[in-house]
Amino acid sequence: MAKSVPAALNGRDKVSNKTKISIVGLGYVGLPLAVALAKSFDVIGFDVNEERVGELRHGLDRTFEIDTPSLRASSMRFTTDINDTRDADVHIVTVPTPVDKDNKPDLGPLKSACDAVGPVMKEGAIVVVESTVYPGVTEDFCGPILEEKSGMKSGEEFYLGYSPERINPGDKVHTVDKIIKVVSGQTEEVTDILADIYGSATTGGTFRARNIKTAEAAKVIENAQRDINIAFVNEATMIFQKLGISAYDVLETAGTKWNFLNFTPGLVGGHCIGIDPFYLAHRANEVGHFADLILTGRRINESMGKFIADSIHKNLDGKSKILILGLTFKENVPDLRNTKVKDIITVLRDLGHQVDVHDPLADKEEAKQFLDIDLIESLSDLSGYDAIVGAVAHSVYKDLSTAAIEGMMIGKGLVADVKGIWRNTEFSPDIKRWQL
C-alpha cells in the first residue's frame, strides 16, 4: 500500500511557499531553475564545487545565466553540505550526463547525486531528474540507487519524477521562467504536484507527459533531431564547397520557402546536442536496433572541425601564423564544454601552422587546464597574422571594424569566416576570403 507524500505536498491545494525544494547541481540548468523556484518556494541549492558555491553566495554567476542583482535578490540558500537538504520535500537533480571516451553514456555524475540524496531524503519525498538521459534511467537506474541508499521503497515510501531541462545557454528569450515545462511522475498525484511546482515558476505552463519514460524519450529526441538537421546542412555545405558556392547564400535563398527549416552549418559542440544523440543510440543498441541515421549525423558533425581546418589550410601558402577568434562552444557564452573549435586548432597545428587563440568570454585557467590552450588576453597591438579565423560569433567579433581586422594581418592575408560573421563586410581587394 503506497504511503502518501509529505503533508507539504499532499494534494494540489497543499503546495505552498512552505514547500521545501533542494536543487542538486548549480550549473547552467540548476541555478536558473533554483532562482525561478525560489520566488514561490523555500529553495536550497547544493553543489560539490566549493568555489562555485562561494561565488554564488557573493552574487557571481560565472555562466552569465543569472545577473548579480537577481542573484543577490533571491531568497535561495547555497550549500556544499548535502545534510542541509534533509528537510526538502522535493529534490531536483540537475547534474551533467556526459559520455565517455567511447561515446558511451557516463552516468557517474547522476549516480553520485543519487548516492548523496538517498541517505538524506525523508519519507514521502519526491526526487525529480532533470538531466538528459535515455528512456528508463530515472526508474531503472536512479530508483534502485535511491532505494539502496535510503532504505525506502520507490513508489511507496518515496517517489520519482522527471522534468527535462530545456536550458539554451546564452538565450535570454527562452529562459526557464518562460518556456513550457514537461512534467511526469511515478503516480498521477506526483505529476499533479510537479505541475503545480513548475507551473508556479514559468509563464509558459506545463505539459503532463504520459509517463516518465515518455518524458525522457521526448527530451533526448529534441536534441537528436537538431543534431541530424545540422548534419544535413553540414554535408550539403561540404558539397557546396566543392562547387564553389556559399552555403549561406544557398540557405538564404532556400529560406524564402515558407516551410524550409532554418539551420546553419558549423561546429556542433556543447553539453547537449553533441552528446545526447549518443544516449539514444546506446539505448537503441541495448534493445537490438542500430541507430544508423542518428550515428551518421553524429559522424558528419564530428568531422566538421577537420573539414574547416583542412579548407583553411588549402587557402594558405605554406606554414602560417593564424589567429583564431573564439573558443567557446557557441556565441556569447563562456562554456568551453565539448567545444569543437579545439578540433580546428589541433588540425591546423598538426599541419605545421602557428595558432594563437583569443576569447574574451572563456576562462583562461579552464582553457589551459581542460584544453591545453593559452588564450591571448587582448586583441590590442596584434599584428602579422597570415590568417584571421572567425570561429565563434561573439558580439565583440561582429563589432570589429574592417580596419581592426586588417590591422592584425599581413598585406595579403586570409579572412576565414566559419560563422558568417563578416559575410557582408567589405575588405581590401588583396584580402583573401573563405567561408562555409
The CA-atom distances, in angstroms, between 276 and each of 136, 222, 228, 393 are: 15, 9, 12, 24
* pLDDT score, position 9: 59
Residue 2 pLDDT > 50? no
Q: What's the DSSP call for residue 354?
A: E
Handedness of CA 233, 237, 239, 244 (dihedral sign): positive
Q: Looking up cell 507527459, which residue turns up?
A: 209
SS3 336: coil
% of the chain at pLDDT higher than 70: 97
State the DSSP string of 380-416: TT---EEEEEE-S--HHHHT--HHHHHHTEEEEEEEE
Half-sphere exposure (Cβ direction) of 248: Cα atoms closer than 13 Å? 12
Q: 415 versus 170: which is more confidently predicted?
A: 415
- Residue 269 φ/ψ region, left for φ over 0, alpha for ψ in the -120 to 50 degree band, beta for the rest: beta
pLDDT band at 13 (very low <50, low <70, confident <90, very high): very low
307 contacts 238 by C-beta, under 8 angstroms: yes
* One-letter identity of residue 227: D
C-alpha span between 243 and 255 (Å, rounded):
20
* pLDDT score, position 317: 93
Q: What phi and psi values does residue 433 have, to the nearest 5 degrees? A: -130, 140
Residue 5 pLDDT > 60? no
* pLDDT score, position 272: 87
Catalytic site residue from 31, 92, 233, 272: 272
How many residues does the structure list for the chain? 436
Query: What structural domains does the chain harbor?
Result: 7-211 (3.40.50.720), 302-435 (3.40.50.720)
Report the 10 Å Cβ neighbour count for 151.
9
pLDDT (mean) for 305-318: 97
pLDDT (mean) for 401-414: 94
The C-alpha cell of 393 is what? 560569433
Handedness of CA 350, 272, 375, 389 (dihedral sign): positive
C-alpha span between 282 and 289 (Å, rounded):
9
pLDDT tens digits for 152-202?
Answer: 999 999 999 999 999 888 888 889 999 999 999 999 999 999 999 999 999
272 is catalytic: yes
pLDDT tens digits for 347-370?
Answer: 999 999 999 999 999 999 999 999
